[in-house]
Structure 1
Amino acid sequence: MNPDEDTEWNDILRKHGILPQQVKVTQNDIYDSAVAQAQEEESRRLERLDIDELAELEDEEDDRVLEQYRQQRVAEMQAQAAREKYGELVQISEPAYKSQVTECSKQTWVVVHLFRESIPECKLMNRHLAELAQQYRATKFVKIVSVECIHNYPDKNLPTLLIYGHGDMKGQLVRLDRYGGMRTRRRDIEQYLLDIGAIDKAMRRPLAGDGDSSDGDSDDGRATYVDLGKRVE
């Protein structure tokens, strides 16, 4: 009988103190042991070096740290560039809605503007969204003619924003009554999107001559929310 074997009989003997408890080595134990051994070997190596060799090693270590930092910054810049791949307000059509909005929102936030060219508030919203798209390039901004997205959608509800994230609608803003209609400023829409989480303040890029030409004060009314019915899937 091998007392080290992991058998039912040996477990009974260990339970009654006849055999000593089995010591199980985990992956963490192996890792910690390897780290400790490596540190011990490094300490012994350093003890054998003279003053000049230690000074040379210090210069090498400084270069190594700088190179690690450079590689880390390059990786961070590449990751940011991969996220900031949009930057425009793009018009889409009904057949592309599922791929451009619903599916795309599983990877990134998508802001959808339901509009009609004949409505002044829609033109204002398009202008604000086009500028926000340049500032927040990690978020996708699209626009679609309202009746293409939702058939017979009433003009009285325009402009309408649909905010998608994680594959589902996270918010909707109907009309600009909350902000005073044509007095709505870009920063009003920006704050609305920030509150929902559709844009990240840390990713904000400045615009050339950044400023908001619409200086009207927003009123204290609340945004109008409605049931949009069946959405395009």
Structure 2
Amino acid sequence: MQDQREDTEWNDALRRHNIIPQKEKELTEEDIIDMVESTVQSKTEGKQMSDMTLDELNENEDDIDEEDERMFEEYRRQRLAELKAQQMKAVYGDVVEISKADYVAQVNNAGEGVWVVLHIYKDGIPLCKLVNNHLNNLARKFPATKFLRSVSTVCIPNYPDKNLPTVFVYFEGDLKKQWVGPLTFGGMNLKQDELEWLLAQAGAVQSDIEKPERPEVEDVLTKAIRQSRIDNEDDSDDD
């Protein structure tokens, strides 16, 4: 007798005419997870498992059928692992002031997989203050990156003021990128989005920000000469 579960043309024809039962679909792991989520959703006012906190998952554990308990426990372990991974990445969140004595521990020995952004600055320089303000905001936005700052005379004795501000980017203790002096930042017109884009290009932050467009700055001398030429032509026409 032919096995009705086999995939043959004869069995397919019989199934189409409802002579033999339709073949049951084999459930994959994704199907089982969907079933568990559907069960929880129906008993928790439509809230998805992926949107639940760990406390909510624990509260609704009793609503899961015994046969689905293993998949529920697996899902909860996965969520816990994801939360722990997020917490491990979000270990910074602000700009820390360091001295020369802190440099090795904070920069060279920052740790595996750690990006470090170090701002060398000096009080009284407006652009340094602007960069510090931007970095304070970016440190909160990208807590997985270690943001540091240090006064130039404290960190690097005899460091020229003309090189300020300076920003170094390190990864696992190795220097990857540096910006030295006001021209590399575009002067006081520097926007936070521009600094974020620069750090993203260096790899220091995970951002999909597009390169901000900066309006072209017309050379003041060229503009003055052009305007003077127009004025002279107007005077000649009047004569």
Q: Does the CA contact (< 8 Å) of 2:166 and 2:180 recur in 1?
A: yes
What's the CA shift for 1:200?
Answer: 1.6
Q: Tell me how far apart the structure 1 counterparts of residues 178 and 111 of structure 2 sit (CA, whole Å).
A: 15
Q: Tell me how far apart the structure 1 counterparts of residues 207 and 69 of structure 2 sit (CA, whole Å).
A: 35
TM-score of the pair, normalised by structure 2:
0.58
What's the CA shift for 1:76?
Answer: 0.9
Q: For residues 97-152 of structure 1, what are the alpha-carbon distances to aligned partners after superposition, in whole Å with 9 as ceiling and x for unaligned?
A: 11011111544111000000110000000000000000100100010011222221
The one-letter amino acid of 1:111's match is V
Q: Tell me how far apart the structure 1 counterparts of residues 69 and 88 of structure 2 sit (CA, whole Å).
A: 29
Question: What does residue 164 of structure 2 align with?
Answer: 158
Structure with more contact order per residue of length (Cα contacts < 8 Å, sep ≥ 6): 1
**Which of 114, 121, 144 is equivalent to 1:138?**
144
Q: Tell me how far apart the structure 1 counterparts of residues 205 and 215 of structure 2 sit (CA, whole Å).
A: 21
Question: What does residue 190 of structure 2 align with?
Answer: 184
Q: For residues 35-69 of structure 1, what are the alpha-carbon distances to aligned partners after superposition, in whole Å with 9 as ceiling and x for unaligned?
A: xxxxxxxxxxxxxxxxxxxxxxx943433222211
Identity %: 43
Q: Tell me how far apart the structure 2 counterparts of residues 177 and 219 of structure 1 sit (CA, whole Å).
A: 15
Question: What does residue 105 of structure 2 align with?
Answer: 99
**Which of 183, 201, 220 is equivalent to 1:195?**
201
The one-letter amino acid of 1:217's match is R
Q: Runs ≥4 in structure 1, deviation > 4 angstroms? A: none
Aligned residues: 152
Matches within 5 A, 1:10-29: none
The one-letter amino acid of 1:104's match is A
Question: What does residue 69 of structure 1 align with?
Answer: 75
TM-score of the pair, normalised by structure 1:
0.60
Q: Tell me how far apart the structure 2 counterparts of residues 141 and 75 of structure 1 sit (CA, whole Å).
A: 26
Tell me: CA distance 1:168–1:218, structure 2 relative to 1, closer, same or farther (3 Å).
Answer: farther
CA RMSD of aligned residues (A): 2.5
Q: Does the CA contact (< 8 Å) of 1:179 and 1:219 recur in 2?
A: no
